[in-house]
Amino acid sequence: MWIVVGSAALLSIKNVIIGQYFMASFLGFIALITANPLWYGIAILKKDKVQSKQFRIARTVFDAVIVVSSILLLSFGIYLQSQGNSSAILMIIFGSLGLIDIPSLIKKLKGTSPEIDPIRDHMIGLLTSGIAAYSAFFVFGAHTWIEQYVPGMWGILPWTAPGVVGAIGITYGVKYFRKKGMIKDRVKPVQTTL
């Protein structure tokens, strides 16, 4: 997964250099939304690291970068849509998805965040990074195939499907492991300071 993140970041930089700003912004955002849950999903299993002030600061900064990037991607998508670019709908969808981090970021900035449940957070982090990777595959790896078999506006469906399927999988996975007693029933807010 780190190779996916690194290659997406490098391709984003390459696209900026050659003036392909649509692709550069989309790839850069995919790199961010893949890296954040991947980093967190791995780090959450290291108890001493999770309790450190540096970890809380890094997590808050990561969330802030994603929220700002989401706003920029959403704005760029709306602008391109107004210019008649039909692919801009992807930027609008993915930019909107990134805004989901706003409530979590606000809680972290106020000094409260949910109690950490390592199993749940690990599962959610890695499955979320998988969603981002599959989305990137459909956008770039299977683009030609999708265009042949899925016409017009329906072409965005395979690109957004990993998010829908992944969200359902995460929901049922959390319920399953909660029933098994491996995940806590209630997650209480914890006072923290950055």
Q: Which residue has the tokens 């995460």?
A: 170
Asked whether residue 193 is assigned to any structural domain, the reply reads no
Cβ neighbours of 130 (radius 10 Å): 20
Query: Ranked by mean pLDDT, which of 66-70, 90-94, 142-146, 155-159 comes out on top?
Result: 66-70
Q: What is the pLDDT of residue 139?
A: 67
Residue range 85-143, pLDDT digits in tens: 877 887 888 888 888 888 888 888 887 766 777 888 888 888 888 887 777 777 666 66
Token pair in block for residue 5: 């993140």
Is 81 part of a structural domain of the chain? yes
Amino acid at 54: Q
pTM above 0.85? no
Q: Is residue 154 part of a domain?
A: yes
Q: 36 near 69, Cβ under 8 Å?
A: no
* pLDDT band at residue 10 under the 50/70/90 scheme: very high
Asked whether residue 150 is domain-assigned, the answer is yes
In-domain check, residue 30 = yes
Q: What is the DSSP string of 131-170?
A: HHHHHHIIIIISHHHHHHHS-GGGGGHHHHHHHHHHHHHH
Domain interval for residue 112: 2-188
pLDDT digits (tens, 9 = 90+) for 13-40: 999 999 988 888 888 988 888 898 899 8
Does any domain span residue 64?
yes
Domain count, the chain: 1
